[in-house]
A and B are shown apart, each in its own frame.
Chain A
Amino acid sequence: MTEIKQYVLLRHRDVPGLDQLDVYRQEGGFAAFQQAVTAMQPGQVTDVVKASGLRGRGGAGFPTGMKWSFIDNNNWPHYVVANADESEPGTFKDREIMEKNPFQFLEGLALCCYAVQANAAYIYLRGEFWQQAHFLDAKIAEMEAAGLLGEHLFGTEYSLRIYTHLGAGAYICGEETALLESLEGKLGQPRLRPPFPPSFGLYGKPTIVNNVETLANLPLILEKGAAWYRTYGTDKSPGVKIFSLSGKVNKPGNYELPLGTTFRQLIFQHGGGLPEGRQIKAIMPAGASSSLIVATEQALDTPMDYESVPSVGAQLGSASVIVIDDSVNVAWLINKTMHFFKHESCGKCTPCRDGTYWMMHLAERIAGGEASWADVELLREVAGQVKGKCFCALGEFSIEAVLSSIERFPADFEQITHKEA
């Protein structure tokens, strides 16, 4: 179960030139979209996706088909937004899809639009992805020229336009409601939920927000069927997933593997293990938002799926696996993550705005060797005060690394703090 014979998402690695429209179509591209538009009811598309068990790849793992079925059909128009904000430190999977296999993503987006009967879709890209946005614009233009986007698609009444939109450099805009605010031209801050986007989304209209990788799964699910898709992965986490592997490994990069692949397989079999002389110490499976997993034998043998990772005290999230070796003091690491979260807090809610600022200063003092154990205790307490009180997940995730580090690697902190308060 650790190998896939043919790529599902990173198919460009099998097929040279897949980013060219003619090549993509030769490989069966857009057949699924045409089939859906000409021969399927929108609800049937949703049913196939539901049956496939596909779960959102942005991090939360919410069942995609179920999300689509929440769309409010008494309020029109509908919108679909592709979340290409890819901002979690250590995550770089969507970028490869958009750069190398753009049509599969765009076809997936089109399928989602048809399923929820949206006639306009927006791709919200992080500001640094301006080259990718221009690239996608060109691909969208090619699709329009080829009659794959526009009015009366395939001779039906269905029409669809896709637009790209660049963000202005905020991590929070990966959160779907902050993304919608930003897309509307407002300050990127999350919205109060409920109502959720499927009932009140872009410009107050029912909206589906899906991650790029999620959408890229759709053409093959529609083409080959839900049962085929379920041959990958586990029962509750079916399918394949791109794991972005980074940190202290010999072969960092994106690895498309079935969900349920173990950490050991990813890091040692595919990623070539750690450089010589280095021992694995900890794993952050979901970027900066992760708890630190102690790299025990048992942890390494844990399957990477939505259900199993929590058993070792973390979340699968966006599956950006960062490997930390024994040369790293985790106090240094949380100083990094706290600087990140302090910088990226949107400022809307008190615990995150003021908590990340406070924790950053504490972490900085601790990492700089200027703190006592009392400061470590204080850091843990402050993190505890943030926990469970934030407006959105960003604030809640900002403390994962802090709390897990202090709990699981106390020696690292003892080593660099003064004994006296």
Chain B
Amino acid sequence: MTKQITLTIDEKQVTVPQGTLVVDAAKKIGIDIPVFCYHPKMEPVGMCRMCLVEVGRPVIDRTTGQAVLEADGTPKVQFGPKLETACTLPVSEGMVVVGMSDKVKAARKDVVEFLLTSHPLDCPVCDKGGECPLQNLTMAHGVGESRFNYDEKMHLAKHVPLGELIFLDRERCIQCGRCVRFQAEVVDDPVIGFYQRGRAIQIATFSEPGFDSYFSGNTTDICPVGALTTADFRFGARPWEMRATASICAQCPVGCNITFNIRREAKSDGEIVIKRTMPRQNEQVNETWICDKGRFAYHFTEGKERLTAPLIRRGDDLTPVSWDEAIEFVAQALRDAGSDLLTLASGRLSNEDLFNLRSLSDAFNGKTALYTHMAGGDLTAQVGVGQGTNFADLGAGSVILVVASDLEEEAPIWWLRVKQAAERGATLIVANPRPTKTDRYASQKIRYAYGNEAATVLAMINALSAKRPELPGKVQATAEIKNAAETIKNAENVIALFGSEGLGLEGSAALAQACANLLLVTNHTGRANNGLIGVWPRANEQGAWDMGLRPAADLKAALAAAKMVYVAAADPLGDDPALAATLGEVPFMVVQELYLTETAKLADVVLPALPFTEREGSFTSGERRVQRFYPAVLPRPQARPDYAITGEIARKAGVDAETDSAARVMGRIAASLPDYAGIHYRRLAQVQEQWPIVGRGDLYYGGTGYENKQGLGVQLAPAAQQGQAPALTWPQVAEIAVPEGSLLAVPVTVLYDQGITVSTSPLLQTRIPQPYLTVCPAEAQRLNAEAGDLVQVSLGEQAVKVTLRVDENIPAGVALAPRSLGLPIFAPAAIQVRVAQKATV
């Protein structure tokens, strides 16, 4: 237990843990000590001098060590001659802090006046105007009139692009360094810094492309002036014109809490539109941060090409029809197909959508298939992280194992949370075939060959226990593996994250099982801060598993066997052109989508659905936290929520289903799924006090991120926490054979790919790479190719041309194929590569 310290701030007593800074102690009792450079999530620097306060300390008699008392018996307090910065000053016993004296008030006035001498005061056209700490603190502490000669103001560039996403206004910058420190300290992308000195000091980027970081947008939230703005929002709207609506990011399994700022505007034909995405505080999920994908990719919901009416195939054409006609048509097809129905859906949908799809399919004894390249969601339901898990609680004594994941690419905020845990002293073990950014914080690194993911984890178990699963001959229990196994065995807490680096469905299933077994044999399941997390490709993939969907081992065969296929939020044909013949042969296909995808073009019926921004629903995050999102903008006419479409079809087909509200569907989920028992929308909307306090009147403190008033969600208890001990089953681990002259192509995830949720954002388009394949220098030499050459990649009968990249960190014999970037590689596969066109120099 940390020692508690009692001090007095502005005549109020407060008791806080030792090491607390005066500025934070004051905030805890509602006293504002203004700051610009200080931020509660970063180390203090004491640069801006706005937080100067008078500080007195009890006088201690040096001979006795006792406090000297005044005549009235109170401790004698000695004030220092100079003001001190409350942001750099840790509390001490008996300290007296005065923030209301004339001397302190004068100091605040002085500092504000200094800052304004170098500030353009262009508030009327500044994006920050209305939510600007400098503006607010000037109103509170500044003088009304400037004594600085206007002609002596410095004039600097006002539209400096620090890359495509973030703009810098050099005149507005007050050199607080929050952005520089955020990039260096918090996210370890030190790609911006101070340049020059004195009044000429300015922010500069020194990466190519500029400001190359997945977290850059956060700097605009913590910038205390309008110096940093996003290319997405700048000059887009005034803060007071916008309303805030709560949502959950739909991009990855982290489940970041976000706020959409919306307004009705003339330039959008009088529609209510989203103007920007902001972080919404959830200290157990995303703290006050979001990644740039989550911030900028919402545009996928608002494309002009969105489907506007149900379509029915009439000959070669898809013709708009009424909802009644479409639903009747599908219901009839359902009755005809009976148990030959295959429902294919992805984790892009909400729990309610997936539940209704599953219920409908079950009523006809149909089959369901989860559209994914990962397995193991059944295991995370059993031995997933326990209720009460919070990465923020992990430190010394805890172990985080990351296997087969380039975590920053797959789930950026988890990468950040894992990094922070490692910085607090948690042991990070990274097992991956090639180095990733996660390695920087790893205390143990294990390298294995692609294909040996599960075997490597099983080798850890072998190193510990008498149970000896069969392993491929190549995998040896190396010193690193034994060391990792011992570390895991002896740890107080262990969280294992498994990703999809180099894995297809089969490999993923084996890896998930191996990780689950490791946690089981080392007794790291069934309690908080222990268990398994899948780094899923989609936001609600865990929810999809929980709703009972499972991936099809052989999707092509499943499609070929069905008489009717009901596809929701998936585009198998767009992802894999090789499925064209199979899908073309499906007797009846329904596609429920936002856009007319490649798959939808082949459908018999196309049903226009609503994106998460236009409706209610819930997602279950990778940490199995059920979280609610709310409608942000009005739904497009004619389109409907997925759960409602499916529900209407079900009713028409004679199956009982909820159609009216997501909340009522959740009622059914809670009633039929034991893990979800007790979950209801009111409970998901509950909040509690969080630290640090953000998003209130004191924007100077935590930035413009939003306070969470709409729900922190509920974390589910895995089966292991409910007293059910899953039986160990040992996965079969097969080796992948690669013919002579071929390369082993392995799929890897990159954050910015050509998926519809990224490519439709004009801003992120600039960061999406051209399709490429990466090999090591030796393989490039063997191919007689150089980086930049166009190469032809042959995979079975398919051939695709992509650009070659060369990276010395990749093992020989392997080619990295990024997912959703032009290469239809979904599992490790042998490919042939030859140069198609040399790069022009």
**A interface residues with partner B (beta carbon < 8 Å):** 170, 172, 187-189, 192, 342-351, 353-358, 361, 378, 385, 388-391
Judge whether A388 and B83 touch: CB under 8 Å.
yes
Judge whether B199 and A354 touch: CB under 8 Å.
yes
Q: Kindly list chain A residues whose C-beta atoms are within 8 Å of the C-beta of B46.
A: 192, 349, 391
**Smallest beta-carbon distance A418→chain B, Å:** 15
Q: Kindly list chain A residues whose C-beta atoms are within 8 Å of the C-beta of B148.
A: 358
Judge whether B49 and A354 touch: CB under 8 Å.
no
Q: Which 5 A-B pairs have the closest CB atoms?
A: A347-B201, A354-B114, A385-B110, A345-B198, A357-B199
- How many A-B pairs have beta carbons closer than 8 Å: the answer is 91
A356 to B198, CA, bound (A): 9
Judge whether B47 and A389 touch: CB under 8 Å.
no
- A192-B49 contact, Cβ under 8 Å, with A345-B199, A347-B198, A361-B149: no
- A349-B197 contact, Cβ under 8 Å, with A358-B117, A378-B147, A389-B83: no
A172 to B194, CA, bound (A): 16
Residue of B nearest to A384 (CB): B110
Judge whether B45 and A192 touch: CB under 8 Å.
yes
**Smallest beta-carbon distance B348→chain A, Å:** 45
Judge whether A347 and B49 touch: CB under 8 Å.
no
From B44, B50, B82, B118, give the contact of A192 (CB < 8 A). Answer: B44
| B115 interface contact, C-beta 8 A | yes
Judge whether B197 and A389 touch: CB under 8 Å.
no
12 contacting pairs across A/B (C-beta < 8 A): A192-B45, A346-B198, A347-B175, A351-B49, A351-B111, A351-B114, A353-B114, A353-B175, A356-B198, A361-B152, A389-B111, A391-B46
Residue of A nearest to B36 (CB): A350
**Smallest beta-carbon distance B39→chain A, Å:** 15
Number of chain B residues close to chain A: CB under 8 A:
35
A189 to B113, CA, bound (A): 23
Judge whether A350 and B198 touch: CB under 8 Å.
no
Q: B185-218 interface mask toward A, CB cutoff 8 Å, 1 = contact, 0 = none?
A: 0000000011011111100000000000000000
From A347, A354, A390, give the contact of B197 (CB < 8 A). Answer: A347
**Smallest beta-carbon distance A276→chain B, Å:** 41
| B463 interface contact, C-beta 8 A | no
Q: Kindly list chain A residues whose C-beta atoms are within 8 Å of the C-beta of B117.
A: 354, 357-358
Q: Kindly list chain A residues whose C-beta atoms are within 8 Å of the C-beta of B149.
A: 361
Q: Kindly list chain A residues whose C-beta atoms are within 8 Å of the C-beta of B52.
A: 389
Residue of A nearest to B88 (CB): A192
Judge whether A385 and B114 touch: CB under 8 Å.
yes
**B interface residues with partner A (beta carbon < 8 Å):** 44-50, 52, 81-83, 88, 107, 110-111, 113-115, 117-118, 147-149, 152, 154, 174-175, 193-194, 196-201
Residue of A nearest to B119 (CB): A354
Residue of B nearest to A342 (CB): B198
Given contacts A187-B197, A192-B88, A358-B152, 4 further A-B contacts (CB under 8 A): A187-B194, A348-B47, A350-B48, A357-B198
Q: Kindly list chain B residues whose C-beta atoms are within 8 Å of the C-beta of A189.
A: 194
Judge whether B115 and A388 touch: CB under 8 Å.
no
A354 to B152, CA, bound (A): 12
Judge whether B49 and A353 touch: CB under 8 Å.
no
Judge whether B198 and A343 touch: CB under 8 Å.
yes
Judge whether B107 and A389 touch: CB under 8 Å.
yes
Residue of A nearest to B175 (CB): A347
**Smallest beta-carbon distance A63→chain B, Å:** 20
Judge whether B175 and A391 touch: CB under 8 Å.
no
Q: Kindly list chain B residues whose C-beta atoms are within 8 Å of the C-beta of A348.
A: 47, 175
Residue of A nearest to B174 (CB): A350
A315 to B198, CA, bound (A): 25
**Smallest beta-carbon distance A392→chain B, Å:** 10
- A355-B193 contact, Cβ under 8 Å, with A343-B198, A378-B147: no
Judge whether A347 and B196 touch: CB under 8 Å.
yes
Q: Kindly list chain A residues whose C-beta atoms are within 8 Å of the C-beta of B82.
A: 388
Judge whether A349 and B48 touch: CB under 8 Å.
yes
From B83, B88, B115, B197, give the contact of A170 (CB < 8 A). Answer: B197
- A350-B199 contact, Cβ under 8 Å, with A357-B117, A385-B114, A388-B82: no
Q: Kindly list chain B residues whose C-beta atoms are within 8 Å of the C-beta of A346.
A: 197-198, 201
A192 to B90, CA, bound (A): 13
Q: Kindly list chain B residues whose C-beta atoms are within 8 Å of the C-beta of A172.
A: 197
Judge whether A358 and B114 touch: CB under 8 Å.
yes
Instruction: Among A172, A344, A354, A356, find the residue whose CB has the most chain B CB atoms closer than 10 A.
Output: A354
A270 to B107, CA, bound (A): 45
Residue of B nearest to A187 (CB): B194
From B88, B193, B198, give the contact of A353 (CB < 8 A). Answer: B198
Judge whether A345 and B147 touch: CB under 8 Å.
no
A389 to B88, CA, bound (A): 14
Q: Kindly list chain B residues whose C-beta atoms are within 8 Å of the C-beta of A354.
A: 114-115, 117-118, 199
A170 to B152, CA, bound (A): 24
A116 to B199, CA, bound (A): 39
Q: Kindly list chain B residues whose C-beta atoms are within 8 Å of the C-beta of A350.
A: 47-50, 111, 114-115, 174-175
Judge whether B114 and A344 touch: CB under 8 Å.
no
- A357-B49 contact, Cβ under 8 Å, with A170-B197, A347-B201: no
**Smallest beta-carbon distance B102→chain A, Å:** 14
A187 to B45, CA, bound (A): 15
Q: Kindly list chain A residues whose C-beta atoms are within 8 Å of the C-beta of B118.
A: 353-354, 357
A339 to B47, CA, bound (A): 22
Residue of B nearest to A343 (CB): B198
From A187, A385, A391, give the contact of B47 (CB < 8 A). Answer: A391
From B81, B113, B114, B199, give the contact of A347 (CB < 8 A). Answer: B199
Q: Kindly list chain A residues whose C-beta atoms are within 8 Å of the C-beta of B81.
A: 388
Q: Kindly list chain B residues whose C-beta atoms are within 8 Å of the C-beta of A358.
A: 114, 117, 148, 152
Q: Kindly list chain A residues whose C-beta atoms are within 8 Å of the C-beta of B193.
A: 187
A345 to B115, CA, bound (A): 15
Instruction: Among B45, B49, B113, find the residue whose CB has the most chain A CB atoms closer than 10 A.
Output: B49
A320 to B148, CA, bound (A): 34
A22 to B326, CA, bound (A): 104
**Smallest beta-carbon distance B49→chain A, Å:** 5
Q: Kindly list chain A residues whose C-beta atoms are within 8 Å of the C-beta of B198.
A: 342-347, 353, 356-357
A356 to B154, CA, bound (A): 13
Residue of A nearest to B110 (CB): A385
Q: Kindly list chain B residues whose C-beta atoms are within 8 Å of the C-beta of A344.
A: 197-198
**Smallest beta-carbon distance B550→chain A, Å:** 52
Q: Kindly list chain A residues whose C-beta atoms are within 8 Å of the C-beta of B113.
A: 385
